[in-house]
Amino acid sequence: MKILGISCFYHDSAASVIVNNKIIACVQEERFTRIKHTAEFPKNAITYCLEEAGLTLNELDAIVFYDKPLPKFERLLSTYYAIAPRGLLSFLKSMPIWAKEKIFFRKLLKDNLKEVEPNFNKRKVKILFTEHHLSHAASSFYVSNQQESAILTIDGVGEWCTASIGLGNDKEIKILKELYFPHSTGLLYSAFTYYLGFRVNSGEYKLMGLAPYGNPHSDETSTFIEKIKKYIVDIKEDGSIFLNQDYFKYAVGNRMINSKRFESLFGIKIRGEHDDINQSHCNLAYAIQNVTEEIVIRLAKETKRLTNSKNLCLSGGVALNCVANGKIHELKIFDNIYIQPASGDAGGALGAALAINHMYFGNERIFTNTYDLMQGSYLGPYYSDKEITYLNRKYKAESKQLEFAQLKRKVAKLLSEGFVVGWFQGRSEFGPRALGNRSILADPRNREMQKKLNLKIKYRESFRPFAPSVLEEDYSNYFKGDLKSPYMLMVKDIKETIKSNIPSNYHNLEYLEKLYTERSSLQAITHVDFSARIQTVSRETNPKYWELINEFKNITNIGVLINTSFNVRGEPIVNSPEDAYKCFMSTEMDYLVINNFFYEKNLQTEMIKKNVFKDD
């Protein structure tokens, strides 16, 4: 059975292909177009997936879209009708688009597939649609290695649903309870993302990173939490919520919030993207993160009550809130928690294909002795030495090709000396996290490294934290609890043994003072609340990355590296060797590794730098 899954036309377009129950390829369209979070039809992603599988469109058994356009159109019409005459301008703007494209969505889909392959026979291949939250649920459950599991999905909105509780049992998924638009945890969090000056559908992780700079003990923070729960969101015992629509504008598609009401309630002017951040911004970020965690935890408890399962599968955009995930894990509500590494809409492409494979065609599930069926999420393109040699000729790049044993020793030594290395190996990662194949690496012991990486490599806000990659077997040396987190989707506290003594007034310091206070012996990966977003690295899943970290450990006695995504602010993670080389040359990165090719910045001339960018 050969099935292609597609997600697009909202954000994070992607494609996925499964053949005979095995995931062959998954990739986001942004990796090819270089437009972050692109919503465009994933023509390039589909082409790659088909090439990886050795298939044409006409050889597929089914092509599946990750949600149902007509129920979404119904929701839009119902919303406009309910608030009329408000929203008239938005209605007049959006209706022609829906009338022309969305109502006749099947034709739109087929026309786009014809652009991928002109000889595509639209009568030969089934075109199917799954519900949005079923796609999310399937993306997590069917790869989790669990025969039976509770399933919790939370995001902005699908057709009508904004959160769902389900139960997966072998091939079947049964939805038990749903929360409906306009009441949405994802949209609530996005509203505060917008209010605090970050971009909706891409800046939520920045809000999560800013939250620990808030002072949990301040009167202002407590007041913010009280106001959110009193005026904006009513949280029910089961985790369902009611949002006061007087404070929001998203229902009619104009903008996220009623700015005047937000500013009046919190006493903070809406922040522009490039405005300075002050302590009140941090305290408000802490407040909404705290409220979101309460909602998610209540939803998890309700999921346990309804299913009585010992297992939980999580997905949807809110499942990327790794702080909330860590809190669920700490509470031990479930024995096992599995989170889809591509939990956002990109993962819907995979979930749609899996749902049709098992629920429509009735194909038996397969299980594995490894962590899951996602193959480490290394499901994107691989590039050969031939393509790297072509890159070198094109840009007259200076490099050395080394044996891997020599390469890992050289790179580990350079990292231990404080240099920053771009690390490009094997197949690219599916989802928003770099997991050791498209990563920028550095020494976590270096007290200046967070500042250097943010300002000189990533060109992003100084407050942004960095994640550690730790050898799976060394996790307990540095972090609390017992955890496998191969996809960097859990936050845990560091152990007391690596903590530094901090000033008695630490929690009352302004956020930049906190940032530059020494907190641990692994300063660069320790957030200001003494936590870290952890990736545990398995020798079986990614042997090259494991060997590099282990070599670093041989030198430093520390089995941890900083791992941040190989990109700069505003760009997607690099996909090809050319993307990697351009990123390397446009930053103050010191060294670059592509497969076994080693590049030193000092050997690349200014003329080469000009050659790199004249093609753009």
> Do 116 and 213 have their domain in common?
no
> Do 50 and 6 have their domain in common?
yes
The model's pLDDT over 399-413, given as tens digits with 9 standing for 90+, comes to: 999 999 999 999 999
Most confident of 119-128, 505-514, 526-535: 526-535
Q: Is residue 174 part of a domain?
A: no
Q: Is residue 153 part of a domain?
A: no
> Do 280 and 420 have their domain in common?
no
Q: Is residue 447 part of a domain?
A: yes
Task: Give the gyration radius of the chain's Cα atoms.
Answer: 24
> Do 363 and 452 have their domain in common?
no
Q: What is the pLDDT of residue 551?
A: 98
Residue 145's region, left for phi above 0, alpha for psi from -120 to 50, else beta, is left
The model's pLDDT over 459-511, given as tens digits with 9 standing for 90+, comes to: 988 899 999 999 999 999 999 999 999 999 999 999 999 999 999 999 889 88
> Do 425 and 369 have their domain in common?
no
Q: What is the mean pLDDT of residues 149-161?
A: 95
Which residues sit opposite 470 in a β-bridge?
Answer: 536, 560
Neighbour-count burial of 157, counting CB atoms closer than 10 A to its CB (0-12 exposed, 13-18 middle, 19+ buried): buried
Residue 417 has pLDDT above 50, yes or no: yes
What is the C-alpha to C-alpha distance for residues 12 and 345, in angstroms, rounded to an integer?
A: 6
Instruction: List phi, psi (to 5°) of 121.
Output: -100, 100
CA contacts within 13 A on the Cβ side of 455: 7
Q: Residue 14 in contact with residue 27, Cβ under 8 Å?
A: yes
> Do 442 and 584 have their domain in common?
yes
322-331 vs 279-307: helix axis angle to the nearest 10? Answer: 50
Q: How many domains does the chain have?
A: 3
The enclosing domain of 301 has a CATH number of 3.30.420.40
Q: Is residue 173 part of a domain?
A: no
> Do 367 and 395 have their domain in common?
no
Q: Is residue 160 part of a domain?
A: no
Q: If you search the block for the tokens 């669990």, which residue do you land on?
A: 146
> Do 289 and 419 have their domain in common?
no
Q: What is the mean pLDDT of residues 235-242?
A: 98
> Do 283 and 405 have their domain in common?
no
Q: Which domain holds residue 72?
A: 2-131+351-373
Q: Is residue 72 part of a domain?
A: yes
> Do 429 and 517 have their domain in common?
yes
> Do 121 and 193 have their domain in common?
no
Residue 616 has pLDDT above 50, yes or no: no
Q: Is residue 170 part of a domain?
A: no
Q: Is residue 158 part of a domain?
A: no
> Do 105 and 214 have their domain in common?
no
The enclosing domain of 572 has a CATH number of 3.90.870.20
